[in-house]
Amino acid sequence: MKSMAELIREHPFAAGLAEAHIDTIAGCAKNVVFEPGAFMIREGQPADVFYLIRQGRVATEVYSPRGGAYVLNTLGANEILGVSWIVPPYRSTSDARATDQVRAFAFDAVCLRGKCEADPALGYALMKRFVPVLVQRLSSARLQALDLFGANA
Amino acid sequence: MKHDPTRLQPVPMRVLESTPENADTTTLVLDCDPSCPIVPGAPGQFNMLYAFGVGEVAISISGTSDDRRQMYHTVRAVAPVSDALCRMRPGDWVGVRGPFGVGWPMLQARGRDVILVAGGIGMAPLRPAVQAVLRERAAFGRLLVFYGARAPRDRLFVSELARWESSRELELGVTVDNGGGNWGGRVGFVVAALGQAQIDPARAIAMTCGPEVMMRAVTQHLLDRGMAASDIYVSMERNMKCATALCGHCQFGPEFVCKDGPVLPYDRIADLLTVREI
């Protein structure tokens, strides 16, 4: 049976990450499975976890009492779910719900933040992996908001 | 040079079918029998369609039948001419000039992985490229098709998309900006879907059609992943009037989009795409 560190090494997230850093973050990780419809993250809650999705699809949503759940985007295999853990105030900004069975690595963000504080090189390495994700998602959200495919675009 | 009357004088062609794709877009099937002087165009080319008494507009060819006796045009009703075309019914007549312009680089694509990225109505000009690859499947490498739509109800060619989805001949990624209802597919901008695909930048050739803002994002993404600018082709849209590079309405820097395009290699126009004045 493969160790958690070995499993994480196979995920694209780990590409280029130092061996020692993989071993360190593996100590904060565990395997999780969510059934369709299960919430993985709740809006407004402390961002004390992030996931590396291995399989399945997740919808990030905001809920409106009138309009119901509005899907902001969907994420799939090899993507990162939950980026709020790395920047204050460490609070989740949307719900995340499995739309089919999801298998993922779940990272204890409190544990990982402590290790990043103790080892700035690890913190920087992780920051370099999360900031591009933030920028890409911001860019996508802006382009979605432009309604480019509407008749009047 | 021999005078080709189909360049300047509309040829009446009969509408065989008129199929609504969504609330504002219709696909017209035109009768292209062997006696018709209009020949079915190549993927990426366009025709000038004339709604008699209303006006003329450039419309991309969105497909041909396997026997090349029927030609498809998918029209979005956004102005009086396109609205008149969308209201046409079987048996009506439409004036056609064409085919015009430079199409998709299907010859250069042979033997390579083909990445197609469409947004909105941009799926219409790319559909013939998909069909061309599928007709000679062994001549090409992987076929990856990414399609971004506003919402599930705005997708074009829904039954064809379902066939492609279940086909092993291609890899399809459909994403919508706004989900909702029973949509179980991907939500997000089309570039995010493209970003999830494994590609071999040295082996791939890419073709994209959609709003220019989208095409710029797609192109930048592909460049970032190591593709050469000369292997990325974009389909430009400008105000085509004469379609013969005489009137200048579609001029884009040194290029006449109607004659030199609409499909152009990115490296030829990269510096023009962010110039607001043109």
DSSP one-letter code for B225: T
| Alpha-carbon torsion angle B48, B153, B90, B59, nearest 10 | 0
A59: amino acid identity, one letter: A
Nearest 5 degrees, angle CA A62-CA A90-CA A50?
75
Interface contact flag, A148 B192, Cβ < 8 Å: no
Alpha carbon distance A117, A112 (integer Å): 9
Q: What is the mean pLDDT of residues B193-215?
A: 95
Which residues of B fall within a CB distance of 8 Å from A141? 189
Alpha carbon distance B194, B181 (integer Å): 24
Which CATH number fits the domain that encloses residue A16?
2.60.120.10
Question: What H or E segment, with its residue span, contains residue B144?
Answer: strand B143-149
Predicted confidence at residue B1, as pLDDT, reads 42
- Does residue B3 surpass a pLDDT of 80? no
Q: What is the mean pLDDT of residues B175-192?
A: 90
Predicted confidence at residue B26, as pLDDT, reads 98
Interface contact flag, B213 A99, Cβ < 8 Å: no
Would an 8 Å CB–CB cutoff place B152 in contact with chain A? no
Predicted confidence at residue A73, as pLDDT, reads 95
Q: What is the pLDDT of residues B61-114, one digit of tens each?
A: 999 998 888 999 999 999 999 999 999 999 999 999 999 999 999 999 999 999
- Does residue A143 surpass a pLDDT of 50? yes
Q: What is the pLDDT of residues B163-177, one digit of tens each?
A: 999 999 999 999 999
Provide φ and ψ at B49, rounded to 5°: -100, 130
Provide φ and ψ at B97, rounded to 5°: -115, 140
- Do residues B63 and B156 touch, judged by C-beta distance below 8 A? no
Nearest CA in chain B to A153: B211
Residue B211: which of A70, A76, A148 has the nearest Cβ? A148
Would an 8 Å CB–CB cutoff place B191 in contact with chain A? yes
Antiparallel, parallel or unpaired: β B232-235 and B204-209: parallel
Nearest CA in chain B to A80: B196
Which residues of B fall within a CB distance of 8 Å from A139? 189, 191, 217
Predicted confidence at residue B277, as pLDDT, reads 79
What is the predicted ipTM? 0.89
Nearest CA in chain B to A75: B186
Place B276 in a pLDDT band, splitting at 50, 70 and 90: confident
pTM over 0.90: yes
Residue B179: which of A71, A78, A136 has the nearest Cβ? A71
Closest C-alpha among B210, B122, B129, B226 to residue B170: B129
Nearest CA in chain A to B25: A151
- Does residue B53 surpass a pLDDT of 50? yes
- Does residue A60 surpass a pLDDT of 80? yes
* Per-position b or e across A43-76, b if 16+ CB within 10 A of its CB: eeeebbbbbbbbebbbbbbeeeeeeeebbbbbbb
Interface contact flag, B189 A143, Cβ < 8 Å: yes
Residue B192: which of A99, A140, A151 has the nearest Cβ? A140
Nearest chain A CA: its distance from B214 CA (Å):
8
* Per-position b or e across A80-109, b if 16+ CB within 10 A of its CB: bbbbbbbeeeeebebbbbbbeebebbbbbb
Residue A144: which of B154, B177, B210 has the nearest Cβ? B177
Interface contact flag, A149 B186, Cβ < 8 Å: no
Residues ≥6 apart with Cβ < 8 Å to B227: B199, B201, B204, B206
Which residues of A fall within a CB distance of 8 Å from B195? 136
Alpha carbon distance B135, B116 (integer Å): 16
Would an 8 Å CB–CB cutoff place B213 in contact with chain A? yes
Alpha carbon distance B90, B33 (integer Å): 16
Nearest chain B CA: its distance from A102 CA (Å):
14
- Do residues B27 and B77 touch, judged by C-beta distance below 8 A? no
Predicted confidence at residue B5, as pLDDT, reads 64
Interface contact flag, A59 B211, Cβ < 8 Å: no
Number of structural domains chain A divides into: 1
Domains contained in chain B, CATH given? 5-99 (2.40.30.10), 106-274 (3.40.50.80)
| Residue A86 lies in domain | 4-152
Q: What is the mean pLDDT of residues B255-269?
A: 94
Question: Which of B146, B186, B190, B194 would you mutate first to test chain A, the one with the most A CBs within 10 A?
Answer: B186
A114: its two tokens:
């402590």
- Does residue B6 surpass a pLDDT of 80? no
Cα B198 versus chain centre, distance? 24
* Average pLDDT score over chain B: 94
DSSP one-letter code for B10: P
B102: amino acid identity, one letter: V
Nearest chain A CA: its distance from B80 CA (Å):
14
Residues ≥6 apart with Cβ < 8 Å to B193: B146, B148, B173, B174, B175, B186
Q: What is the pLDDT of residues A102-140, one digit of tens each?
A: 999 999 999 999 999 999 999 999 999 999 999 999 999
Transcribe B35-89 into DSSP letters: T-SPPPPPTT-EEEEEETTTEEEEEEEEEE-TTSSEEEEEEE--SHHHHHHHT--
